[in-house]
Amino acid sequence: MNEFSLYAVLIVGLLSGVHCLGMCGSIVGIFTAQLPQTGGRWPYHLAYSLGRVGSYAVAGALVGAIGQAGMLLRDQVPVQHLLFALSSLMLVALGLYLAGLSGAVRQIERLGGALWQRLKPYTGRFLPVNTVPRALALGALWGWLPCGLVYSVLVTALASGDAAQGAAVMAAFGLGTLPNLLAIGLFWERLRHWVQSPQVRRFAGLVVASFGIYGLVKVGYTFAMHGWAGSCHVPA
């Protein structure tokens, strides 16, 4: 895993506000309504988001470990090339989704439905959110909410072929979403119309898709130069 991948998923997280507002805006609104009316609210929103980022890192470690097991077959099967190409294709699909040009990413949200149905009942244990630890725990649970955006980035964590790197990928992505979720929680009504504008959506989507296109060009070049034996993580 090179630094470009970490920077890419960080920027993807930053540009995902157009998705976060639609997907998580109502959830954050409900969360905000549960908060104590006295004192500042930002510690609760920060704890909630850190809990969510922690869950993303755990998921990244799990799929990274699965990818690492697959890499053991690299002498027989071009696993690393295929996973990196798949992660790049997912970034392109994600960019088209953010730009409002395709809804294909939404189809993969069904994959996490069964797990979420098992976790969802536990969220009630931390409502109302009257302490920071409760906000942290609730965020950790809501981090497993089915989300095509998260699942798209998980493919990149899978392609990293390492549990620690997979966790780093998802942590970087989660930290990228942090400003969005904090801003939505504190300034929801003010941001909604700006983030949902077609121009903002298209710009964000095209930038994300460009990362995927870069990845496809990179793996294609590496395959052309080195064949199946080469590493797809060559220097940029």
Confidence of residue 218 (pLDDT cuts 50, 70, 90): confident
Q: Where does the pLDDT of residue 235 fall: very low under 50, low under 70, confident under 90, or very high at 90 and above?
A: very low
For tokens 């939505």, the residue is 184
- Does residue 59 carry a pLDDT above 80? yes
Question: How many Cα atoms are found within 13 Å in the side-chain-facing hemisphere of 138?
Answer: 25
> Residue 97, Cβ neighbours under 10 Å: how many?
23
> What span, in angstroms and rounded, lies between the C-alpha atoms of 159 and 53?
20
Note the pLDDT tens digit of each residue in 140-188. Answer: 998 998 887 888 889 889 888 889 999 999 999 999 888 877 776 666 5
What pLDDT is recorded for position 172?
Answer: 93
pLDDT of residue 51 exceeding 90, the answer is yes
Q: What percent of the chain has pLDDT over 70?
A: 75
CA 142 – CA 31 distance, rounded (Å): 11
Q: What's the pLDDT score for residue 236?
A: 38
pLDDT (0 to 100) of residue 39: 64
Residue 6 pLDDT > 90:
no
Judge if the upstream peptide bond of residue 121 is cis by omega within 30 degrees of 0. no
Confidence at residue 112, expressed as pLDDT on a 0 to 100 scale: 80
- Asked if residue 190 has pLDDT above 70, the reply is no
Domain boundaries, the chain: 3-229
